[in-house]
Amino acid sequence: MTSEPELYQSDIEVPYNDFEKTVFRRAAWFEQQGDGYFKEQVTAPQTIGYSLSDSPVGLLAWIYEKLHFWTDDYKWEDDEGMCST
């Protein structure tokens, strides 16, 4: 804010459009709800590794959670997260 006063002034004068507001809301949500793995890795990096390497169910849960949050409201069925042969 104080290191770039002209940029700060332009942010005040030009209102954000609806898309930008949506992006800011999503970023705020992710900062509060979606970066748990990052926080865990910062404090105890090996913790999630044990779960992912020792437990197939832990790995499946991790993959399913990522598919759910990274695909923008796609309605996953329970069996879509698993491989079928």
Query: What is the full per-residue pLDDT of the chain (85 aa) written as tens digits?
Result: 567 888 878 777 888 889 998 999 988 888 888 777 777 667 656 666 777 777 788 778 777 777 777 777 667 676 765 544 4
Q: Looking at the domain assignment, is residue 77 inside a domain?
A: yes
One-letter-per-residue 3-state SS of the chain: CCCCHHHHHHHHHCCCCHHHHHHHHHHHHHHHHHCHHHHHHHHCHHHHHHHHHHCHHHHHHHHHHHHHHHCCCCCCCHHHHCCCC
Residues 24 and 51 grouped into a single domain: no
Total domains in the fold of the chain: 2
Q: Looking at the domain assignment, is residue 22 inside a domain?
A: yes
The pLDDT score that the predictor gives to residue 82 is 52
Domain with 17, as residue range(s), is 1-34
Contact 24, 16 (CB under 8 A): yes
Q: Looking at the domain assignment, is residue 40 inside a domain?
A: no
Residues 19 and 49 grouped into a single domain: no
Q: Residue 37 is which amino acid?
A: Y
